[in-house]
Structure 1
Amino acid sequence: MSVRYGLLALLERGPMHGYQLRAAFEESTGGTWPLNIGQVYTTLSRLERDELVHAMPDGDDGHRDYEITDAGRAELAQWFATPVGRADRPRDELAIKLALALTTPGVDIQAVVQTQRTATVRSLQELTRLKPADARPDDLPWRLVLDAMIFQAEAEVRWLDHCEASLVRYTPPPDAATQPATESSWEVSR
């Protein structure tokens, strides 16, 4: 999710200044994605430039509140109505790391997989401990973020299991260390 749309969604609740937006964003996501206040104000400047928010006069407290415009509401509605595509998400560093470990001489790919599995299982246990036993309706935004993180960690463990099973059947081509990977060198049972 971009910070841009997160701030627009928060401003739909009512006018806020940057520090309020940062606190509301972190509260809504359970602190899983901390924002730098500079990033908040830079994004607000861009939103104002694009006429999606309007800066209000400075308040008595010295803070300048921002409010969403009609154009901002329309863009926010479009964002909520548009599914997030797989190509829109950042590159998967772990998949890239394992692909490179497989083709880099001297790297123990099994150790890389095991190190990641240990870290992911530990993270999964920590996330599971965060689940509230007595869920309240106002906890739902945080619970949804937490559930997404738990499901992603569980999927990563399953994928690491698959990688490990694939490695057992993998036979590197001759001189794999000196030749670039070809399609045939990646042929493993699925």
Structure 2
Amino acid sequence: MSIRYGLLALLEQGPRYGSQLRAEFESRTGSTWPLNIGQVYTTLGRLERDGLIVPEGGGDAKQQLYSITTAGRQELGEWFTQPVDRTQPSRDELAIKLAMAVGTPGVDITAIIQAQRRHTLAAMQDYTRLKARALAAGPGSGGDIAWLLVLEQLIFYAEAESRWLDHCESRLLRLAAARPRPVTPPAHDPAGPAEPADRPKARGGTSS
């Protein structure tokens, strides 16, 4: 859905070709979410079907200029004003991986967490360097500001994921510490219990 409305937002600024829409979408987001050109034209076809855009002039889809309709502007305005629904979260591969790892024989979930944490922190460092480079370049166009906002969202997301991984690891350690350890029964001596060393020995013969 975000691609659908992203293309509508770009068309709100004026008619564009499919290739232009792809390039501008990736420019705004710093190629964080690269678009396949086939996906762009598929989305444009659906927008045209729904009456939200119209083609201008002849030619095939790859040489077609598209413009937004009144209905398209209305739907775009509603998208901007409505909050993004978080009650139906998208599937997160990392969360699913950890959920499946719990209780799976032979899987070291602690090793999974540690490997993911290293990757997440490395990604956060890369994003931070890109942010510093963008800030050093000074104020730029709207596209530059849009890319900076995306970068900061990625940094915050990586920080939150790192904290969540720390929490997962701490919880697993607490659970492991609280789990009762099996009691080892005493070893059985086939010769029987040892006789106390200070026990007096019986004497032979009868008493007078």
Deviations, residues 13-56 of structure 1 (Å, cap 9, x unaligned):
10001000000000011110100000000000000000000011
Higher mean C-alpha deviation, range 83-92 or range 26-35:
83-92
Between the aligned partners of 2:38 and 2:53, the Cα distance in structure 1 is 17
CA separation of 1:146 and 1:72: change in aligned 2, threshold 3 A: same
Q: Which runs of 5+ in 1 are unaligned?
A: 175-190
- 1:4-153 aligned at under 5 Å gives the runs 4-58=4-58, 63-131=63-131, 132=134, 133-138=136-141, 139-153=144-158
Identity of aligned residues (%): 60
TM-score normalized by the length of structure 1: 0.85
Where in structure 1 do 4 or more consecutive aligned residues deviate above 6 Å?
none
Q: Which runs of 5+ in 2 are unaligned?
A: 181-208
Q: Secondary structure at the match of 1:66?
A: strand
TM-score normalized by the length of structure 2: 0.78
CA shift, 1:69, in A, is 0.2
CA shift, 1:151, in A, is 0.4
Deviations, residues 76-121 of structure 1 (Å, cap 9, x unaligned):
0000011012134421111111111112111000000001001001
CA shift, 1:173, in A, is 7.9
- Matching residue of 2:203: none
Paired letter, 1:170 = L
Between the aligned partners of 2:174 and 2:91, the Cα distance in structure 1 is 26
Paired letter, 1:162 = H
Higher mean C-alpha deviation, range 140-149 or range 78-87:
78-87
